[in-house]
Amino acid sequence: MTSPASAASPLSFNSTQKDDNHSGLSSFWRVVIAVALAFAGVKIFQEISRHKRKRQEREAIDADNARTAHGLQLCIREIKAKEKILAMKWRQNIYQDDYGTIITKKWEPEIPIFLNSRIVPILQQNNLLDKWEIIRAEVIAEINRTASKTIPDIIPTEPVTSGPEIFSPTMNPYDYEEHCAILLRQIGWNARATVASGDQGADVIADKDGKKIVLQCKLYSNPVGNDAVQQAFSAMGYYDCTHSAVVSNAGFTTSARQLASKNGVTLLNHAQLQDYARDVEIEDGDRYGT
């Protein structure tokens, strides 16, 4: 006969079963919660990573755009620094045909010369050459705008009466010589065109404060050659001048530039004449080179 103490109590059994069921349910929900938290954590991490990636992409794009803008800014700064020379080259190389159309064919080769000698080296020095193709069209447009902005002043739309006070491509050579003398007198030089044009190679002689300049003045439609350089060099010695220059509305041949460099003769456009004379006063005329 089984004693009451040794028999399992129905109440005790049910309590144990309930505890086991409760423990199983708790474990299940802990797993569910853990999975949910892990899933949420993955999603949060992915979202943070996505936002970080987007931010980095935006920052990279902004940095790239900033490099492009900086490259363009450097190019425009150089164009502005060479504004006078570009305008001079434009004046030398454009003309109107009989129908009033502006012909720029002779000007166009100047653009790649300027790009290769000034713009591309600047981009290389600043590690921005990779931006060249992006900004190329805008740089060329800026060169044309800068060079041609004085076009109303340099291309006559009506017949011009010759006179020395205002430059015109249609003025006669004697008026051009007097025009150069006038430019020098305007800034305080004692300047005169020689009575006999080309006398001993001097078209204009000017002096100020112990400095003396002799000029050969050439109103040409084509580049000026060696002869003008030789005459200016000879006239410098003949008239005991301290400086000599050839002034022209046109450009200069390569051989003329080489000879001028060797003989110390400066080659100028008349638009540079006053700046040159000011520099001669402070002994910096050689900065114009040839």
Quick: pLDDT tens for 63-107: 888 899 999 999 999 999 988 888 878 877 777 666 667 788 888
> In whole angstroms, what separates CA 217 from the centre of its chain?
31
Question: Contact at 8 Å (CB) between 201 and 185?
Answer: no
Instruction: Tell me the mean pLDDT in the region 223-236.
Output: 92
Domains of the chain in start order, with CATH, are 21-155 (no CATH), 173-288 (3.40.1350.10)
- Supply φ then ψ for residue 124, to 5 degrees: -65, -45
Write out pLDDT tens, residues 11-45: 554 555 555 555 655 776 777 777 777 777 777 87
What pTM does this model have?
0.51
DSSP 209: T
Q: 283 in the Ramachandran plot: left (φ > 0), alpha (ψ -120 to 50) or beta? A: left
Q: In the predicted model, what is the mean pLDDT of the chain? A: 81
The pair of three-digit structure tokens given for residue 19, joined into one six-digit string: 């505890």
Whether the pLDDT of residue 159 is over 80: the answer is: no
- Weakest-pLDDT range from 148-162, 169-183, 200-214: 148-162
